[in-house]
Amino acid sequence: MDELARQLAQLTGNSPIQWLTDPFPEPVTIRLGLKRDDLLHPLVSGNKWRKLKYNLLAARQQGLSTLLTFGGAYSNHLYATAAAGKVFGFNTVGIVRGDELAHKPLNATLSFCQSCGMHLHFVTRLDYQRKDDPAFQLELMQLFRLCYILPEGGTNELAIRGTADLIPELITQLGFAPDYVCCPVGTGGTVAGLAQSAPAETTVLGFMALKLPEPTPNLNWVQLTDYHFGGYAKTKLELLSFIRAFEQKNGILLEQVYTGKMLYGIYDLARTGYFPAGATVVAVHTGGLQGRSGELDA
């Protein structure tokens, strides 16, 4: 086995399930566990790890030594790709939305990316909109030579294959299929993988971290649209207070963009009788703690 495949195999899977002991007010009785994917790797955490894993193998198999990807200035995906590049020996290029940022001091996320060796290439917001256009990608390859291209957020077929691995791993750990598996949703790659491999008796709940103009039709998972708190990366005091209380009670850090919104939603659903009594609910802690707001410590 090639060195990368060996390293990935060693790291894959086995994130623990942590049962929450003090989750709900009476009379709701459900069992709520957190699948601690945030613990999978110290830097390439959570769903990013699962989404990158088969892509890293594919890049290596194709003989490509540079990963090129796209993101905003606070992107968890850029952060994870930069870290994965450093850990597994790839060069990395980050195409960053907003050419105005090129002349400003780097924020913590971008500084980290640069410290991992990622080359940051800032483009205008207009150019950034062309990120999936093959002609634009060709222009980028002319600048950076042949690269393995990962889309914004890292969602592609191999990423979905990676997140699909979570369900059999979870069922083996539990010894049975849970009634519900929950995850936060951005581009939809993580939830798509979970829904793809979930057995009929498991309902997959996706908590939208962003505001949709209308619900998406014909999904094989349940799309929950009421917990975005105003839109992507928007917060409200109520959300921040919930996260602080959760962290204090359980000793588990969350962040306000994805995991905090999902857990707020799960608690709200439980309070309003959505889950049948005795249901086993497993929420995936998808990591992203690099983006945790300092406000949560205030």
Ligand X SMILES: Cc1ncc(COP(=O)(O)O)c(C=O)c1O
Q: State the residues that interact with ligand X by CB under 6 A.
A: 46-47, 76-77, 153, 155, 184-191, 258, 286-288
Please say which residue, 6 or 211, places its beta carbon nearer to ligand X: 211
Please say which residue, 3 or 157, places its beta carbon nearer to ligand X: 157
| Minimum gap (Å) between residue 163 Cβ and ligand X | 7
Please say which residue, 8 or 283, places its beta carbon nearer to ligand X: 283
| Minimum gap (Å) between residue 273 Cβ and ligand X | 26
Q: Which of 11, 26, 27, 50 is nearest to 284 (CA)?
A: 50
- From CA 4, how far away is CA 60, in angstroms rounded? 8
- From CA 85, how far away is CA 36, in angstroms rounded? 23
CA angle 155, 61, 135 (to 5 degrees): 50
Residues shown for the chain: 298
- Residue with the two structure tokens 């999902």: 262
| Minimum gap (Å) between residue 190 Cβ and ligand X | 4
| Minimum gap (Å) between residue 117 Cβ and ligand X | 21
Q: What is the CA radius of gyration of the chain?
A: 19
| Minimum gap (Å) between residue 51 Cβ and ligand X | 7
Maximum CA extent, the chain: 62
Q: Which of 50, 117, 53, 109 is nearest to 90 (CA)?
A: 117
Please say which residue, 23 or 287, places its beta carbon nearer to ligand X: 287
Please say which residue, 11 or 141, places its beta carbon nearer to ligand X: 11
